[in-house]
């Protein structure tokens, strides 16, 4: 379906899909998927004039799978994605992060604000402080989800301490 590409970043062989040309979109998957997750999104995005880069994170798909569990840290995944972005000389990227791809994309964006055009975060959560039990129970059942969206949409940032979070959407402050 797509041409396979590989880069060795800091001793880890990463597989990735790189299709199209134009403004770049980095599609970062979560667990337990791999770049295949985005197979139905890539073609329409390419047809709309975008370049889509979708790596298999270390341990997934066709990328290397180290046997040492301590290799699988958020920091390490961010380092590898950063290395791939730099190796491919991707500039002005839109990052789409799903599940684990969310924290990876958010950390990349925090560290490389000058290289991120926009973020699309899908079903992910980074919890840096315990969420109070009443919020946990309400959010678990989908309550207040539109309220949270309106707060973000209207103000461009989460209010300090909203649902135990501060400094922005799922971004430790």
Q: What is the pLDDT of residues 24-56, one digit of tens each?
A: 999 999 988 999 999 999 999 999 999 999 999
Q: Do 110 and 80 share a structural domain?
A: yes
Q: Do 159 and 82 share a structural domain?
A: no
**In the chain, pLDDT over 70 holds for what percent of residues?**
73
Instruction: Work out the burial of residue 8: count CB atoms within 10 Å of its CB; fewer than 13 is exposed, 13-18 middle, 19 or more buried.
Output: exposed
Average pLDDT, the chain: 82
Q: What is the pLDDT of residues 140-169, one digit of tens each?
A: 665 544 444 333 334 444 444 444 433 333
Q: Do 12 and 90 share a structural domain?
A: yes
Q: Do 136 and 98 share a structural domain?
A: no
- What percent helix, strand, coil does the chain show, rounded to 5? 40, 20, 40
Q: Do 142 and 169 share a structural domain?
A: yes
Total structural domains within the chain: 2
Q: Do 46 and 130 share a structural domain?
A: no
Provide the residue range defining the domain that includes 171. 126-173
pLDDT given for residue 133 in this prediction = 75
Greater model confidence, 103 or 134: 103
């Amino acid at each position: 379906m797509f041409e396979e590409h590989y880069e060795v970043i800091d001793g880890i062989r990463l597989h990735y899909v790189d299709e199209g040309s134009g403004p770049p979109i980095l599609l970062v998957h979560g667990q337990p998927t791999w770049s295949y997750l985005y197979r139905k999104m890539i073609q329409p995005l390419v047809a709309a004039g975008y370049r889509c880069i979708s790596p298999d994170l270390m341990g997934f798909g066709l990328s290397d799978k180290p046997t040492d569990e301590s290799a699988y840290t958020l920091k390490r995944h961010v380092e590898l994605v950063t290395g791939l972005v730099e190796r491919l000389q991707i500039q002005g990227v839109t990052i789409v992060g799903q599940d684990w791809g969310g924290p990876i994309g958010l950390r990349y964006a925090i560290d490389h604000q000058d290289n991120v055009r926009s973020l699309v975060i899908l079903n992910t959560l980074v919890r840096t402080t315990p969420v109070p039990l009443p919020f946990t129970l309400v959010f678990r059942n989908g309550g207040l989800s539109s309220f949270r969206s309106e707060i973000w949409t209207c103000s461009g940032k989460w209010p300090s301490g909203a649902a135990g979070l501060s400094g922005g959407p799922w971004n430790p402050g």
